[in-house]
C-alpha cells in the first residue's frame, strides 16, 4: 500500500475519530479544512492522503479482515509493529522510509509523510510498464541486506518483534499452508518449508517486500507496508521480492531479460551483505522457499492480479512444482531454471516441450 499513489476523487474525512487523531497529535488545528483521498494499494489496511492548508500527509489504519475473497483475518496490533519497524529502519537508512509523524497504537493507526509520485514512483508500476532498471533491483537487495545485518543477533529487537502469531496469520497460513492444502502431492514439502521458516529467528524481517510496496526514490528505494514485521528468517524477504520479478517476466515479455537480470542482481547485492551466518545457508533457504512462494501467488489466498491467462498460471504451477521436487541451492539457480523453461517471448505460454 503506497503513500504516493492516490485515487482521483477526494472524499470527506472517513470519520471523526481520524480527524480527532490529527488534532490530538498536533497535525491539524480544530476547524481546519481537510481533504481525505483514499490511496490505492494493498488489502490489509485503509490508507488516505490528507490535504491540509499548505501541506499533505498520510494516515494508515489496519483492518481486522483483509480485502480478499478468501476469509483472511489478522490482528490489528500489526499496525504498531509496522510503526516500530519503520522507526528501526529510519535509524539505519533514513532515506528508505517515509518520515514518521504520529502513532495511536490503541486505534491501530499512524500518520506519516506523503511522498509525491512525481519524485517517488511505484516500482511495480515501472516494472509492468517495461521500465526495468537492474540498478534499482540491486539497490533493493543491498537495502534489505543492510537492514538484516543491522538487526541480526539483536536480542532486545528479537524480543520487541516476537510477532510469530502475526506472521503466521499474514504469511505462513495464507501463503504456505493454504497452498499446501491446494496441492496435496506437495503438501509435505511445503509444510516443511513453513515449519523451517517459522522456526528460524535470526534477523528483523519486513515481510512484504513487494514492488508495490517499494518507491523508487531520488536517492534510495523507499520501503512501505511493514505490517508483517517479524524477527525471523531474513531469507523470506529476499525470496518474496525475487518472486515478483520472476512472475512479471511472464506478463512483460519485452523486458524479460532485464527482469531476470534484476532478480539475479537483487540476490547478489543482498548476499554481499550477509555476515551473520554462512552465506550459503541463507541462499539455500531463500532458493528452496522461492518456488513455494511462486505457487502461492497462483493458488494461495492472495493470488497476483496480473496473472489473468490460465496458461501463465499453469506455467507457474509446472515450474514451481519441478523446483519443489528438485530443489536448487541458490536464487541464481532458480532464475536459471525458470529462464530455461520459459517460452520465447513470441511463443504462447505452455507450448514448449523441453
What would be the CATH architecture of the domain defined by 16-113?
A: 2-Layer Sandwich (3.30)
For residues 136 and 127, give the distance between their C-alpha atoms in angstroms, rounded to a whole number: 11
Predicted confidence (pLDDT) per residue in 212-244, tens digit: 999 999 999 999 999 899 999 999 999 999 999
* Torsion angles phi and psi, residue 283, rounded to 5: -60, -40
Mean pLDDT confidence for 242-270: 97
What pLDDT, on a 0 to 100 scale, did the predictor assign at position 16?
Answer: 78
Q: Which has more pLDDT, 346 or 190? A: 190
Adjacent-strand bridge partners of 109: 61, 104
Q: What string of DSSP letters covers 258-326?
A: HHHHHHHHHHHHHHTT--SS-HHHHHHHHHHHHHHHHHHHHHSSS--TT--SHHHHHHHHHHHHHHHHS
Counting every residue written for the chain, the total comes to 354
**pLDDT averaged over the chain?**
89
123-341 has the same fold as 16-113:
no
Does an H or E element contain 47, and which?
strand 45-52
Place of cell 531474513: 234
Predicted confidence (pLDDT) per residue in 75-123, tens digit: 566 788 999 999 999 999 999 999 999 998 887 789 999 999 999 999 9
* Torsion angles phi and psi, residue 232, rounded to 5: -155, -130
Contacts of residue 111, Cβ cutoff 8 Å, sequence gap at least 6: 21, 22, 25, 27, 50, 57, 58, 59, 60, 101, 102, 103
| CATH number of 123-341, picked from 3.50.50.60, 3.90.1200.10, 3.40.50.300, 3.40.1550.10 | 3.90.1200.10
Instruction: Give me the residue spans of the domains in the chain.
Output: 16-113, 123-341
Amino acid at each position: 500500500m503506497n503513500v504516493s499513489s492516490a485515487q482521483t476523487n477526494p472524499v470527506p474525512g472517513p470519520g471523526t475519530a481520524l480527524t480527532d487523531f490529527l488534532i490530538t497529535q498536533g497535525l491539524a488545528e480544530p476547524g481546519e479544512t481537510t481533504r481525505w483521498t483514499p490511496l490505492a494499494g494493498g488489502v490489509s489496511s485503509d490508507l488516505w492522503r490528507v490535504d491540509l492548508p499548505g501541506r499533505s500527509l498520510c494516515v494508515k489504519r489496519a483492518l481486522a479482515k483483509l480485502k480478499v475473497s478468501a476469509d483472511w483475518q489478522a490482528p490489528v496490533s500489526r499496525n504498531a509493529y509496522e510503526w516500530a519497524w519503520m522507526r528501526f529502519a529510519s535509524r539505519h537508512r533514513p532515506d528508505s522510509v517515509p518520515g514518521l509523524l504520529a502513532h495511536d497504537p490503541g486505534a491501530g493507526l499512524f500518520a506519516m509523510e506523503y511522498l509525491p509520485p512525481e519524485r517517488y514512483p511505484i516500482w511495480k508500476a515501472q516494472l509492468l510498464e517495461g521500465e526495468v532498471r537492474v540498478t534499482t533491483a540491486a539497490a533493493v537487495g543491498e537495502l534489505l541486506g543492510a537492514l538484516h545485518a543491522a538487526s541480526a543477533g539483536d536480542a532486545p529487537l528479537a524480543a520487541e518483534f516476537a510477532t510469530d502469531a502475526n506472521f503466521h496469520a499474514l504469511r505462513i497460513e495464507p501463503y504456505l499452508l493454504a497452498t499446501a492444502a491446494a496441492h496435496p502431492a506437495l503438501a509435505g514439502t511445503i509444510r516443511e518449508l513453513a515449519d523451517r521458516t517459522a522456526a528460524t529467528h535470526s534477523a528483523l524481517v519486513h515481510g512484504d517486500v513487494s514492488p508495490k510496496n517499494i518507491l523508487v526514490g531520488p536517492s534510495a528505494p523507499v520501503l512501505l507496508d511493514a505490517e508483517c514485521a517479524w524477527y525471523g528468517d531474513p531469507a523470506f524477504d529476499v525470496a518474496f521480492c525475487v518472486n515478483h520479478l520472476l512472475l512479471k517476466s511472464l506478463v512483460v515479455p519485452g523486458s524479460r531479460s532485464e527482469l531476470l537480470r534484476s532478480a539475479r542482481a537483487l540476490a547478489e547485492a543482498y548476499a554481499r551483505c550477509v555476515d551473520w551466518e554462512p552465506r550459503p545457508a541463507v541462499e539455500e533457504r531463500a532458493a528452496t522457499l522461492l518456488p513455494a512462494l511462486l505457487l502461492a501467488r497462483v493458488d494461495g489466498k492472495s493470488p497476483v492480479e496480473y496473472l489473468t491467462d490460465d496458461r501463465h498460471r499453469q506455467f507457474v504451477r509446472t515450474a514451481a512444482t519441478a523446483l519443489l521436487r528438485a530443489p536448487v541451492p541458490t536464487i541464481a539457480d532458480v532464475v536459471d531454471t525458470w529462464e530455461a523453461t520459459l517460452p520465447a517471448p513470441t511463443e504462447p505460454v505452455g507450448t514448449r516441450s523441453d
